[in-house]
Amino acid sequence: GAVVSQHPSRVICKSGTSVKIECRSLDFQATTMFWYRQFPKQSLMLMATSNEGSKATYEQGVEKDKFLINHASLTLSTLTVTSAHPEDSSFYICSAEGQKQETQYFGPGTRLLVL
Amino acid sequence: GNSVTQMEGPVTLSEEAFLTINCTYTATGYPSLFWYVQYPGEGLQLLLKATKADDKGSNKGFEATYRKETTSFHLEKGSVQVSDSAVYFCALSVPGNTPLVFGKGTRLSVIA
């Protein structure tokens, strides 16, 4: 099946710093990528949908100035958590959808811990 | 709106037991239905899917049948293994509105 990677897999940072998470589709072109957030023992919450070359669409309640999303190419989307705070600590998961829009393929996730 | 309801866990079974995880949905239009599995510390993996009524998705011994009349997509496996211990998410996607809608997940623990 299709492969989606995320980097880094785990990051620890100090409060107030910014963290960038990369999501790559390795063997297919992803016209759409999704960013999710998962709190411990809870389901995934969609944060935003990004289409290559256009601005991301954020879900209600998600601060677009805090969670910057860039989808510059058909194989790469980045999520930057700006001025991170401890409450931003979470598991961030991306998914990518190919041009046929049949199935989303998920990355392995990035665990962010803000101290 | 679109939503997915799945049975709450945790579910604890002995090895070789029969597994059923219930999932029902509400949706506008005709959704595609999915089961994803999340192993400890990892992201989600697609387990199986069905795109129209009466379709049966199957993979690794797991099965689920798209039942339009009962709006259900229950996950079953005849004989679970310790390696099946994970969190299972039921999800739907409506054509033209591709973000997945997830259930809350069901944690399965299989003990030897």
* SS percent in chain A: helix, strand, coil, step 5: 5, 55, 45
Residue A112: per-residue pLDDT: 96
Q: Which residues of B touch A43 (CB under 8 A)?
A: 89, 102-105
Query: Is A31 part of the contact surface with chain B (CB cutoff 8 Å)?
Result: no
- For residue B98, the number of C-alpha atoms closer than 13 Å in the C-beta half-sphere is 21
Measured in whole angstroms, the distance separating CA A61 from the mean position of its chain's CA atoms is 16
Binary contact (A6, B43; C-beta < 8 A)? yes
Q: Which residues pair with A93 in a beta bridge?
A: A36
Residue B98: per-residue pLDDT: 67
Average pLDDT of every residue of chain A: 90
Query: Is A1 part of the contact surface with chain B (CB cutoff 8 Å)?
Result: yes
Q: What is the pLDDT of residues B18-76, one digit of tens each?
A: 999 999 999 988 899 999 999 987 888 899 999 999 999 999 999 999 999 999 999 99
Q: Which residue of B has its CA nearest to A97?
A: B98
**Chain A residues 76-95 with CB within 8 Å of chain B:** 93, 95
The average pLDDT across A35-56 equals 87
How is residue B41 written in tokens?
A: 């510390």
Whose tokens are 């199986």? That residue is B48
